[in-house]
Amino acid sequence: MARWVERTWEGDPGVMGGRRARASFRYRAFVPDPVAALAPVVPFEVADAAADAEAAIRALNERATVGGLEAIGPLLLRSEAAASSRIEGYDVSSLNLARALVDPRAARGSARTVAANVSAMEEAVAIADREGPVGVDDLLAIHAVLMAGDERARPGRVREEQNWIGGRLGNPSDAAFVPPPEDLVAPLLDDLVAFVARDDLPAVAQAAIAHAQFETIHPFIDGNGRVGRALVHVVLRRRGAARRFVPPVSIVLAARPAAYVDGLTAFREGRVADWVASFSGVAARAATVSIELADQVAWLQAAWRERAGRPRSDSAAARLISLLPALPVLSAPTARGAIGVSQQQTLAAYEARVVGR
């Protein structure tokens, strides 16, 4: 059974702030139910919502206009990473993100943080595509990529201290939520990956529960939200619902932050069906938006091909058109690297007036 455990916070008389910030006190941390053997009971309408969401995700992956788009995967992945970062307060313009992706070493501030999230999402997709079950080490690997260079966050390491969500003090006295104590994190993560290894649940419901459980455990000092949303991609891709493209669910979650928090709270209170229903609506909407985007990209590429004089499919110009949406910045070097041709062939593709000025 889920439970609350009481712990003591040892105050520090030398810490900055008022008496409340320095005091010792008792607080409660939440310990969730294990999920490895969970058999969620959901009403028919919730099961239907999860099935509809999975159908929408499969439609995205099977749609004819999407199937030929090599570039839509990176485009959706960047959208997911940017939106997931925005939920955590890291906002960046498309231009600054593009520059950070081209030259990560020169990136600063939020642009660097969001670019790292793009890399973490790519790591999550690679993990999902590997043979074998997902392990705790895989979650640590995603975190290590996300938080690389930030030793304060202990990249790739589970927390060894109590953390909390919300509040204005440097202690959990006014926190909105206090996750499990640090000594319970490891067994809860082992239980979570055992749940992720199952294949007897609807994929969308499994992704929803895995994400909510991860956020409840909150196993890292920082980066939990972003790693937890990357886990959604791992589950949907691993289960075959999104063999090529996972819709950017964070775009919809970012637009409804209060509903997102309410859904996670419902899960922690044992209202699993409410959370699955909410997440299913998010996933279905994200898939629909992704299909609309793919159709627009396909239309735009067709217009570019017309402008370029309908180049042969094996020409440098045609290959450049197919990859343009995946390129965060278009320049002669980036284009040459993308299509793998000589400088002269790249310039010829440019001269074909692929895109207007």
Q: What kind and span of H or E run contains 25?
A: strand 25-31
How much is the pLDDT for 70? 58
pLDDT in tens, 182-215: 999 999 999 999 999 999 999 999 999 999 999 9
143 domain residue, yes or no: yes
List all residues 6 or more positions away from 147 whose beta carbon is below 8 Å from its beta carbon.
116, 153, 154, 155, 156, 220, 222, 223
Q: What kind and span of H or E run contains 27?
A: strand 25-31
- Residue given tokens 């409804």 in the structure block: 256
194 domain residue, yes or no: yes
How much is the pLDDT for 36? 97
23 domain residue, yes or no: no
Q: Tell me the C-alpha distance between 228 and 211, whole Å.
A: 5
How does the average pLDDT of the chain come out, rounded? 87
- Residue given tokens 């509040």 in the structure block: 167
CATH number for the domain including 126?
Answer: 1.10.3290.10
17 domain residue, yes or no: no
- Domains of the chain: total: 1
Q: Tell me the C-alpha distance between 208 and 232, whole Å.
A: 7
324 domain residue, yes or no: no
CA distances from 262 to 212, 265, 271, 279, 318 (A): 11, 5, 11, 11, 47
336 domain residue, yes or no: no
How much is the pLDDT for 170? 83
pTM over 0.85: yes
Q: Tell me the C-alpha distance between 29 and 165, whole Å.
A: 11
Q: Tell me the C-alpha distance between 253 and 262, whole Å.
A: 11
pLDDT tier for residue 327 given thresholds of 50, 70 and 90: low
313 domain residue, yes or no: no
